[in-house]
Amino acid sequence: MKVSLRAGERIYINGAVLRVDRKVSIELVNDVMFLLEGQVMQASDATTAMRQLYFVVQLMLMNPTDVRDPMALYRPHHAALLALCENREMLDGLNAIDELVGSTRYFEALKRIRALFPVEQAILAGAMIDSPFEAA
């Protein structure tokens, strides 16, 4: 896989943070877990339940050799979302995310979570008639 980076941009590869000083293309020739700087969510931006889930899975991807602590956060958070959710799209997404996390496919899990951000936003804005989150 070939990745192009701009000057000053960071890439997170298997727990290491690399910053380039000039425009560069790199080729990743084996399987690695990586995130581009633009895909990294800061803790202060994890302001909703799905964004918090994203942040926790991101921690797993950024340090794949030690997922113990993030997994301890992931399990109860994911379980709470499943327990509160009634919306079919959200439930299907949460189940798919859990399968991806269980098979250490963290990048794909992050993509699936990002795809649910608009659904969550619509729910929070009250735009959905069939509210997926009910108080337990």
Same domain, 26 and 47: no
Task: Say which residues have a Cβ less than 8 Å from residue 97's Cβ, sequence separation at least 6.
Answer: 53, 57, 78, 109, 112, 113
Give the domain range for residue 10: 2-38
Same domain, 34 and 76: no
Same domain, 26 and 46: no
pLDDT for 127: 56
24 occurs within a structural domain: yes
129 occurs within a structural domain: no
130 occurs within a structural domain: no
How far apart (Å, rounded) are the C-alpha atoms in residues 7 and 133? 43
Total structural domains within the chain: 2
pLDDT for 55: 97
Task: Say which residues have a Cβ less than 8 Å from residue 113's Cβ, sequence separation at least 6.
Answer: 50, 53, 54, 57, 93, 97
Positions in the chain whose pLDDT score sits under 70: 127-136
Same domain, 72 and 103: yes
132 occurs within a structural domain: no
* Pairing of β 34-36 and β 10-13: antiparallel
How far apart (Å, rounded) are the C-alpha atoms in residues 51 and 116? 10
